[in-house]
Each structure stands twice: as structure tokens, then as C-alpha cells.
């Protein structure tokens, strides 16, 4: 696990919308993160969270990859700028995300061109695939 990287220096999310707790690995093409479901998360109800939140986990994990790359290219200045995100595909294999579930998310670049990229994301809970999400990200200049 990467202990010397601050998540807040890579993505713009704060407070309740910052879902990721730990960066497992990151490079120019892929990031892996860990998050633990809790009752403060968006879409919480009756002890669980909607799997729709997996889209946000994939987006934040992709943001870690993008922010890390920007930090490397800009002499370690903070990344974490906002991007416009579109959902290409989202497949959920679970009906809910129980509170205290630990989710491991991997977001990997499938395609990139200038300020546009497509990321393929997978979120797992206890080695079970909870969701497969493909997103598009774009940052206008």
C-alpha cells in the first residue's frame, strides 16, 4: 500500500464524497483503491448502500490515476482537478453494499487521447465482483 500519497492531493473530493480510504497502487495506466462502506455514504438506507455508488468509486479511483500522473508531470504539484465523467456502461452483480464491506476498486485506462480517456473499472468485495463500470473522462482546458 502507498502510505506517502495523500488522496486529497490527487482528487478534489472531500468530506462525505471522498469515499476512498487507501491507495493500494497507482501508475500512469491503473490505480487500485480500498474503501469501506459506511452510513455516511451517499445512497445509504437500512444498513446498506446502493451499488450505484460503485460508479463513483471507479471514477475516484480513475481520478487517483489521473491526479498521480499530473503530479509526476508537474514536478509534484497537487493534481486533483475536476473532470467531466460520463458512464459508458455499468453492470452491477450485487443488490446492495452492506455497511462495513471493504471494496477494492481497480480503474485502468483503456483509451486515452489528449484530455479524454476511457477507464475500465472493477469493484470487488471479498473476491466477488460487485460491479463492472466503464467511464469516460474529459477535462476541458
Q: Report, as an integer, the average pLDDT of 40-47.
A: 94
In angstroms, the CA 64 to CA 109 distance is 12
- Structure confidence at residue 12 (pLDDT): 61
Q: Which three cell numbers stand for residue 89?
A: 456502461
Domain ranges of the chain: 7-138
> In whole angstroms, what is the distance from residue 49 CA to residue 41 CA?
7
CATH number of 7-138: 3.10.129.10
For the segment 129-140, what is each residue's pLDDT rounded down to a tens digit? 999 999 999 877
Does 53 score more than 90 pLDDT?
yes
pLDDT digit string (tens) for 62-100? 988 888 887 777 765 655 566 778 999 999 999 999 999
Q: Which residue has the higher pLDDT, 73 or 102?
A: 102
8-30 tens-digit pLDDT: 666 665 566 779 999 999 999 99
Confidence label for 61 from pLDDT (cuts 50, 70 and 90): very high
CB atoms within 10 A of CB 5: 16
Q: What percent of the chain has pLDDT over 90?
A: 66
DSSP string, 54-113: HHHHHHHHHHHHHHHHHHHHTTT-------EEEEEEEEES-S-EETT-EEEEEEEEEEEE
Amino acid at each position: 500500500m502507498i502510505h506517502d500519497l495523500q488522496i486529497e492531493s490527487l482528487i478534489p473530493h472531500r468530506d462525505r464524497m471522498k469515499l476512498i480510504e487507501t491507495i493500494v497502487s497507482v501508475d500512469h495506466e491503473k490505480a487500485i483503491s480500498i474503501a469501506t462502506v459506511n452510513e455516511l455514504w451517499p445512497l445509504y438506507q437500512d444498513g446498506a448502500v446502493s451499488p450505484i455508488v460503485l460508479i463513483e468509486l471507479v471514477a475516484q479511483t480513475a481520478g487517483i490515476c489521473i491526479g498521480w500522473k499530473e503530479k509526476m508531470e508537474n514536478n509534484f504539484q497537487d493534481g486533483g482537478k475536476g473532470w467531466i465523467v460520463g458512464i459508458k456502461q455499468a453492470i452491477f452483480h450485487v443488490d446492495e453494499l452492506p455497511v462495513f464491506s471493504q471494496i477494492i476498486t481497480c480503474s485502468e485506462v483503456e483509451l486515452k487521447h489528449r484530455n479524454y480517456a476511457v477507464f475500465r473499472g472493477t469493484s470487488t468485495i471479498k473476491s466477488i465482483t460487485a460491479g463492472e463500470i466503464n467511464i469516460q473522462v474529459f477535462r476541458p482546458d
